[in-house]
Amino acid sequence: MIGRRLVNGVEGTGIAADDRGLAYGDGLFETMVAVEGGLRHFDLHMARLADGCRRLEIPQPSIEVVADDCRRVLEGLGSATVKLIVTRGVGPRGYAPPDEPTVTRIVMAASAHSHEFDTSRPMVVQLCRTRLALSEQLAGMKHLNRLEQVMASAELRHSGMDEGLMLAMDGRLVCATACNLFLVRSGRLLTPMIRDCGVAGVMRQVVLRAADTLGIPATITDLEPDALSGADEVFLTNAVRGIRPVVGVSGIGQYVGNEVTRRLIEHLAPGSA
Amino acid sequence: MIGRRLVNGVEGTGIAADDRGLAYGDGLFETMVAVEGGLRHFDLHMARLADGCRRLEIPQPSIEVVADDCRRVLEGLGSATVKLIVTRGVGPRGYAPPDEPTVTRIVMAASAHSHEFDTSRPMVVQLCRTRLALSEQLAGMKHLNRLEQVMASAELRHSGMDEGLMLAMDGRLVCATACNLFLVRSGRLLTPMIRDCGVAGVMRQVVLRAADTLGIPATITDLEPDALSGADEVFLTNAVRGIRPVVGVSGIGQYVGNEVTRRLIEHLAPGSA
């Protein structure tokens, strides 16, 4: 299950106990999928990482170096996930970022369960009680401050649910614990704006681009939870799991339609893109 | 500067790259002060840790084991700080907490700069632009999701300021980046409620208890930033730095009074308590 790990390119090393990634969640991550040796949407993952590094003022590791790390951890693995963590590195005690940080770069591979990639497996989800706090300064980034997602995921334990939908503190419907959210209503895609909470998912971007190519109109807007009741189709997206149809939201609705979701899945299936 | 480090009681070890403390900030910390071998307010630090562990459902490490780790890292050091980090340990990929986590316990000592303990050194502070997102589920705990404090501290770089005051997203005055905040008005202590953001500081609790002993009335309430203009005295508190008078808030006010602050500092001086 657990594959190779590189820390700043060195195999088998641990992380320093005073790394700011651990101390403060002062860093970013990306989880990518490798299929037949190639990393899917590597450019989009690197673009999001670059944006996060710029916003947090963390020096961005070279893309060539990251790509090389990924190649090394993937050697000999078939389908796998690769997780990249970039932190502001070690530093003296205190929140203040060092003037010239030396980033820590971690690349880990894990062979993936085939069911994770099986987009035909529909999901049943519930609404989580844990809400997303609002902060424009942190929204969109895949940073290492993820206690909200941890607490929301803990709600799903022993529930039989595949995922949990999350509302913002002000009640807007935003995403799932580890996925972005799309609704389809009257042939139109709807997905929540990521402006003050949530992660700007790579697969979300891929789906919006695919919709454009396919001539499916899309609206990126604030959504209230009752939008779920009026939806014809609901699906979740995530870089590892792709597009996953939702057949039911516990206590809210069931979705039998799948026309738009199917078109997107087929368009993005390996070999069709 | 950097002293001994123990990871689960073992010296010189690193942290696993897949520790959830690093991956998600899924853990808690305490920073304590050792003076002449004794840890100041150890019981209060352990009580806050216990509360955080309960709220995050992280198994609490035994107090005896933590105390023993602290003794070991402090051996041969004079005045020092001890940082304890408790994480939910390693886990498989994904936010969902493992059913039976094996916590990671990190104890690190650093010899302290004497000026850090010098409560006669007054501070000049500014208001930070970075605001605190609101979440009752996370408020009060000293958890490892600290990007807001990192970003606020980054604002202080090259400013000459000793600390930065932070507002909540709704504009309330809450704390400083690494301290709790007290105002004195007409002989009465005022400190912001820690209900939906901020950390419930150990020294904040110590000061409130001392005020009670000394017959200084105290009000724990929501405060707006303009409370700073009407204050006679302002001070910050933190377990390492103790009580630190603020003589000026940039662009807002200067404080020459220090009667209540002095009484509290003298009451809490080592040997007087």
| Cα nearest neighbour of B5 on chain A | A17
The verdict on a CB contact (< 8 Å) between A20 and B150 is: yes
Percent of chain A at pLDDT > 90 equals 86
Judged by phi (left if over 0) then psi (alpha if -120 to 50, else beta), residue A102 lies in beta
The whole-angstrom distance between A215's CA and the closest CA on chain B is: 34
Q: What does DSSP assign to residue A168?
A: B
Looking at the complex, report in whole angstroms how far the Cα of residue A96 sits from the nearest Cα belonging to chain B: 5
Instruction: Looking at the structure, tell me whether residues A130 and A101 fall in a common domain.
Output: no
Question: Which residues in chain A are closer than 8 Å to B153, comparing Cβ atoms?
Answer: 94-97
Q: What is the DSSP string of chain B?
A: -EEEEEETTEET--B-TTBHHHHH--EEEEEEEEETTEETTHHHHHHHHHHHHHHHTPPPPPHHHHHHHHHHHHTT-SSEEEEEEEE--B--SSSSPPSS---EEEEEEEEPPGGGG-TTS-EEEEE-S--BPP-TTTTB--BS--HHHHHHHHHTTTS--SEEEEEBTTS-EEEESSSEEEEEETTEEEEE--SSSSB--HHHHHHHHHHHHHT--EEEE-B-GGGGTT-SEEEEEETTTEEEEEEEETTTEE----HHHHHHHHHHSTTT-
Q: Which of A137, A144, A154 sits opposite B97 (nearest CB)?
A: A154
Q: Which residues of A touch B26 (CB under 8 A)?
A: 146-147, 150
Report the pLDDT value the prediction gives residue A116, as an integer from 0 to 100.
Answer: 64
Are both B163 and B259 inside the same structural domain? yes
For residue B60, give the CATH number of its domain: 3.30.470.10
Whether residue A118 is contained in a domain is answered as no
pTM score of the predicted model: 0.96
Taking only the tens place, the pLDDT of each residue in A257-272 is: 899 999 999 999 876 5
Which of A86, A132, A147 is the best residue to mutate to test the B interface, defined by the most B CB atoms within 10 Å of its own CB? Answer: A147
Listed residue (A23, A30, A65, A78) closest to A51, CA to CA: A30
Q: How far is B2 from chain A (nearest CA, A)?
A: 9
Distance between CA atoms of A183 and B241, rounded to whole angstroms? 52
Q: Going residue by residue through chain B (273 aa), what tens digit of pLDDT does each one get?
A: 467 899 999 998 899 999 999 999 999 999 999 987 689 999 999 999 999 999 999 999 999 999 999 999 999 888 899 999 999 999 888 999 999 999 999 999 987 766 666 666 789 999 999 999 999 999 999 999 999 999 999 999 989 999 999 999 999 999 999 999 999 999 999 999 999 999 999 999 999 999 999 999 999 999 999 999 999 999 999 999 999 999 999 999 999 989 999 999 999 987 654
Residue B82 is predicted with a pLDDT of: 96
Note the pLDDT of residue B224.
97
Domain stops at, among A53, A78, A112: A112
Q: Average the pLDDT over A110-124 and give the result.
A: 74
Beta-carbon contacts of B204 under 8 Å, excluding residues fewer than 6 positions away, are: B180, B182, B191, B194, B237
Integer angstrom CA distances of residue A147 from A26, A28, A83, A241, B28: 13, 14, 18, 22, 11
Residues A53-67 have a mean pLDDT of 98
Chain B residues with CB-CB distance to A16 below 8 A? 14-15
**Same domain? A44 vs A81:** yes
- The mean of the pLDDT values for chain A is 94
A127 plus A261 within the same structural domain: yes
Q: Report pLDDT for A273.
A: 45
Q: Of B184, B177, B165, B148, nearest to B225 (Cα)?
A: B165
Beta-ladder partners of A191 = A220
User: Which of B112, B131, B152 represents a domain boundary (last residue)?
Assistant: B112
User: Is residue B162 in some structural domain?
Assistant: yes
A199 within some domain: yes
pLDDT tens-digit readout, A28-58: 999 999 987 689 999 999 999 999 999 999 9
pLDDT for the residue numbered A111:
79
The partner residue sitting opposite A146, judged by closest CB among B24, B31, B133, is B24
Taking an 8 Å cut-off on Cβ atoms, the answer to whether A15 and B15 are in contact is yes
Q: Does A138 lie in the same domain as A66?
A: no
Which tokens go with A261? Answer: 């979701």
So what's the pLDDT on residue A93? 83
Distance from C-alpha of B181 to C-alpha of B175, rounded to nearest angstrom: 5
CATH no. for residue A251? Answer: 3.20.10.10
The tokens describing A79, both together, are: 């389908």
pLDDT, average across residues A192-199: 98
In this structure, is residue A106 part of a structural domain? yes
- A vs B, Cβ pairs < 8 A, gives 181
- List of chain B residues whose C-beta atoms are within 8 Å of the C-beta of residue A30: none
Per the structure, how many domains does chain A have? Answer: 2
Quick: pLDDT tens for A73-111: 999 888 899 999 999 999 888 999 999 999 999 999 987
Say if residue A138 is in the same domain as residue A10: no
* Cβ-based contacts of A31 with chain B (< 8 Å): 93
Q: Does residue A117 form part of some domain?
A: no
In a domain, residue A273? The reply is no
Residue A1 has pLDDT above 90, yes or no: no
Q: Quick one: closest CA in B to A28, which residue? A: B23
Q: Say how far apart CA B107 and CA B22 lie, in whole Å.
A: 16
What residues of B are in contact with residue A161 (Cβ under 8 Å)? none
Supply φ then ψ for residue B165, to 5 degrees: -85, 145
Contact B24 A150 (CB under 8 A): yes
B154–A85 CB contact, under 8 Å: no
Domain boundary among A90, A112, A134: A112
Together in a domain, A80 and A159:
no
Average pLDDT over residues A238-261: 95
Same domain for A203 and A73: no
Please name the residue ranges forming H helices in A57-141. Answer: 63-74
Nearest to A138 among B92, B134, B147 (CB): B147
Tell me the nearest-neighbour CA distance from B217 into chain A, angstroms.
32
Name which of B90, B150, B153, B197 to mutate to probe chain A: the one with the most chain A Cβ atoms within 10 A of its Cβ.
B150
Average pLDDT of the residues in A136-158: 97
Which pair of structure tokens corresponds to residue B54? Answer: 């309960």
Q: Is residue A138 domain-shared with residue A99, that is, in the same domain?
A: no
- A34 and A88, same domain (yes or no): yes
Is the residue at A208 inside a domain? yes
State the smallest CA–CA distance between residue A17 and chain B in angstroms.
Answer: 6
- Triad B229, B235, B238: Cα angle to 5°: 140
Encoded tokens for B44: 């209060």
Do B102 and B198 have their domain in common?
no
In chain A, whose CA is at the least distance from the CA of B4? A17
Co-location of B103 and B130 in the same domain: no
* Model pLDDT for residues A221-230, shown as the tens digit of each residue: 999 999 999 9
Subunit contact A135:B133, Cβ cutoff 8 A:
yes
B267: buried, middle or exposed (CB in 10 Å: 19+, 13-18, 0-12)?
Answer: middle
Predicted pLDDT of residue B115: 61
Q: What ipTM does the predicted assembly reach?
A: 0.95
Rounded-to-5 percentages of helix, strand, coil across chain A: 25, 35, 40
Residue B118 counted as domain residue: no
The residue of chain A with its CA nearest to that of B134 is A133
Rounded mean pLDDT, A203-216: 98
Q: Which domain holds residue B6?
A: 2-112
Q: Give the mean pLDDT of A201-205.
A: 98
Mutation target among A130, A135, A138, A177 for the B interface, most CBs of B within 10 A: A135
What is the distance between the alpha carbons of residues A247 and B62, in angstroms, rounded to a whole number? 45
**What is the share, in percent, of chain A residues with pLDDT greater than 70?**
95
